[in-house]
Chain A
């Protein structure tokens, strides 16, 4: 998978680049509209992360230009403005998703997975981990054809951890993923534990889940 990162803060672009490369994507970073348009014209990318505030113009101009071509590239708009107008505008112009700064890298990878999956017509329907199969289409999990009954939230947590396997996912990241970027200032991130505990109980019935780690009271990790 080829990803184009369009972000004017070079250090931030580098961090995202690092993360996505470690996840297995092939990335290229550019820092302004002009370079972005040039890259899009000369190379074939599967997805683009597009920051809106670019030094030589608005990211939307790049989005418009991309949508005028035949490219089916998935575009995730990244905005710090967080204004509702921007989001609606972005989706209207053909962005596939948006993320508001600051975002968690794990959230980015989950969103990327989703838009790429959508781009390929949902052909990639199952995630496999230690004998468990996550059917993304209908939010079901099974272990060697035996259904595992998970709630929507437990499924979301499981999927998120599997998509970001071998990485520590903090409670905060999980909370943000499950409940969204809620504005509640005093949200209780420990509350996610209840759901993880239930999830583990359900998985544990089928097989030993030593690969589902609690990491130093900070978060969780699923090792492949």
Chain B
């Protein structure tokens, strides 16, 4: 998940939490304030009532009312308030004034009321006074407040979420630009773009600066390695050249005895091997140092046909049936010389590790839209532990072979330079199949 999404989600979640807390606590706070307010007004009413009270009035209240009880009650028309005075038996332990929420039925209608209960003694009688104020309006009010809060907060949440997302996106823009132009598209240090990225945040300007510096160092290293490769090839190959030419001249000397002659010849062979190892290692270094351009058009059908012709004598010598059943004229941008070496190494291996009278089949096709070429032989094959090692430098399948085990290491380097994947499947004693999988972007 990208950082902008993570930040946006985190922001949204924390905001949601705050809103949830507010949504839950705010009505309680409001209720508290309202209750206090009601309590005060009830208390005022009680005070007024008690202050004006005398025995006659009490008697009036109680006597005028229903005779069956010692109660007087009075209520407003919409039942929003009521007052009840009743005679009770002595309950001196009760608190004088209490507030509570309770339901009362007034004229057959049940409502919740905030009720003040007051006990007092007048004459020798104990009385209880109840004054109530309806809560239904208050309940409605809190509901409206909650609803309102919900909508306002929802809108706030949405707006801040969008604002966050866009702002984060805006802030991170230079970051993606750096990744894209400075890192992803740069295969070679020479291709690096040193123009500073225009970023508002200092962090990204710093990142850009550090990247530029890093790339400069890498470019320097690349240049040094290039220089080194060039020096090594010159410094190693010149003495080899000298030795080789000296020995060649020596070989023409007629006074040599057989022993000396053989020794010189075998020294020449060793020198040749040394030369090839150096050249191959240099080749790998150069490939990995990106010293080859990869913008030539390569037509595989042509390459394979030419190669078959070139290797015809070897193929015939081992009585191998070589069939090229390629159907597509696939072209590819790459380095012609290197791709030639890649395929050459695979085909010569297929010849070398084949049986007398075996076969080699070169085929092509598409798999998931990606072009592939397969080179299959009916040779000695390999077991899985051998397959793992074949692309390592200086690996040979068995020690009695000649060669240095660089052919497939080179093939591997060339393939990765061209983003070609090499797949190997092999059955011991039955044959091996090398498949070259080309990157999908190329069109047939």
- Give chain A's interface residues, CB within 8 Å of chain B: 9, 11-12, 15-16, 18-19, 22, 53, 80-84, 100-106, 153, 167-168, 170, 172-173, 179, 182-186, 188-189, 191, 194-195, 216-219
Contacts and interface: CB of A to CB of B under 8 A. Distances in A.
Given A81-B230, A83-B291, A195 B313 contact: yes
Given A105-B248, A173-B248, A183-B279, 13 more contacts: A16-B245, A22-B252, A82-B233, A82-B279, A102-B245, A104-B244, A167-B252, A168-B251, A183-B280, A185-B273, A185-B276, A191-B314, A216-B265
Interface stretch (B88-96, B133-141, B400-408): B400-408
B268 A170 contact: yes
Contacts of B58: none
B249 A15 contact: yes
Contacts of B337: 84
Contact of B261 (A103, A179, A216): A216
A143 B344 CA distance: 37
A164 to B, nearest CB: 10
Interface stretch (B7-15, B25-33, B235-243): B235-243
Nearest to B283: A183
Contacts of A170: 251, 265, 268
Contact of B241 (A12, A19, A153, A188): A12
A12 B238 contact: yes
Contacts of A19: 245, 248-249
A127 to B, nearest CB: 20
A183 B410 contact: yes
Secondary structure type dominating chain B contacts? helix
Contacts of B405: 185
23 contacts: A11-B246, A16-B245, A19-B248, A80-B238, A82-B279, A82-B282, A102-B244, A102-B271, A102-B275, A105-B249, A182-B344, A183-B280, A183-B341, A183-B410, A184-B276, A185-B273, A185-B277, A185-B407, A186-B402, A188-B402, A189-B269, A216-B265, A218-B262
A163 B3 CA distance: 73
A224 B361 CA distance: 46
Interface string B376-417: 000000000000000000000000011111110010000000
Contacts of A186: 352, 401-404, 407
Contact of B265 (A18, A167, A184, A218): A218
